[in-house]
Structure 1
């Protein structure tokens, strides 16, 4: 092959290489620019969150805690409501009893108090009291016409981790009283707010 033929071949190869390089650079830069411009409109704005929206829990006072005390054998009393009747004559205390211990609790009978005239008191909240400390007056649980307490009855042993709802109804202190002490045998006193009837 002559020198001229070699130079001509080299020139053709060099031009082809330059053309290939130009095409490769152009192909890479073009799509990159296109991809970036296409992805921007679909990207979330900085203040948007990809997490699902949370809705508020219904306001049913199910998680309300007015007072909480621990009694014998790791039984926890949580007072969740104190409602004055519209008539102004009674107050109902709502609560839960939870066994936070590791053994079955059989001591429910202590909550019935010592008044033997109350029918079925041994497995009830008949021993609960409400005290108006401002006037130094203590109120016992109300009774029905049959002599039973207006409170939770037929309570059974509590298994470990078990929770039961309970209530007790009392004569209402004067409307001016804003707080009272609730006491159940084997538990410390609990001071709780007393709201007016709605």
Structure 2
């Protein structure tokens, strides 16, 4: 008998718990209904979500008024390097913008991904970019995370005519004594940039 009573008690407790969960769900749905009345609030909260890439672009290129180098490629892409800043932890972050100056839509060359097999598997990126410290005679490659993804802007497949996108690329920082490095990128001429 006590076994049956225990089963009844468990069923009753389960039913009470289900009723409570249903009440909480209905309350939450009711709140959603009230929020939908002020849908303008919902729209304004989604607006920042749409602006996030622009904000990210803003933080990626902190000072677009500064130009360290302008590189015109033969394929109709123009690179403007805005900053090369040493970060805490021994990193160097290069930021800039890429503009399609060809007058028509251009597909980004796959050479920009770099030659490494692992990086090619992560999709479109700017992992082919390198920095050369001529004084120390060292070449620096774009850093990778633990999964092999390059610490650079990814996903740029093509640009429409006159379209501009911001980019960043993070490298190991050269020694403090190094104040200038050469930026090398497939399909573009080499440019010397100053580290700040």
Q: TM-score range by the shorter chain?
A: 0.5 to 0.7
Q: Where does residue 127 of structure 1 map in the other structure?
A: 128
Q: Is the 8 A contact 1:76 1:99 kept in 2?
A: yes
Q: Where does residue 53 of structure 2 map in the other structure?
A: none
- 2:65 counterpart of 1:63: yes
Q: Distance in 2 between matches of 1:119 and 1:75?
A: 21
Q: Where does residue 56 of structure 2 map in the other structure?
A: none
Q: Where does residue 191 of structure 2 map in the other structure?
A: 190
Range that drifts further, 121-130 or 179-188: 121-130
- Which of 59, 75, 78 does residue 80 from structure 2 map onto? 78
1:31-70 aligned at under 5 Å gives the runs 61-70=63-72
Q: Report the alpha carbon displacement of residue 79 of structure 1 after superposing the two structures with TM.
A: 0.1
Q: Distance in 2 between matches of 1:73 and 1:120?
A: 24
Greater share of residues in helix:
2
1:166-181 aligned at under 5 Å gives the runs 166-181=167-182
Q: Distance in 2 between matches of 1:77 and 1:92?
A: 16
Return the TM-score normalized by structure 2.
0.65
Q: Secondary structure at the match of 1:110?
A: helix
Q: Is the 8 A contact 1:98 1:162 kept in 2?
A: yes
Please provide the CA RMSD for this pair.
Answer: 1.4
Q: Distance in 1 between matches of 2:85 and 2:122?
A: 23
Q: Distance in 2 between matches of 1:120 and 1:175?
A: 34
Q: Where does residue 136 of structure 1 map in the other structure?
A: 137
Measured against aligned partners, the alpha-carbon deviations of 1:41-72 in whole angstroms (never above 9, x if no partner) come to xxxxxxxxxxxxxxxxxxx6222110001113
Q: Where does residue 155 of structure 1 map in the other structure?
A: 156
List gaps (5 residues or longer) in structure 1: 1-59
- Which structure has the bigger radius of gyration? 1
Q: Report the alpha carbon displacement of residue 86 of structure 1 after superposing the two structures with TM.
A: 2.5
Q: Paired residues, what number?
A: 135
Q: Is the 8 A contact 2:101 2:161 kept in 1?
A: yes
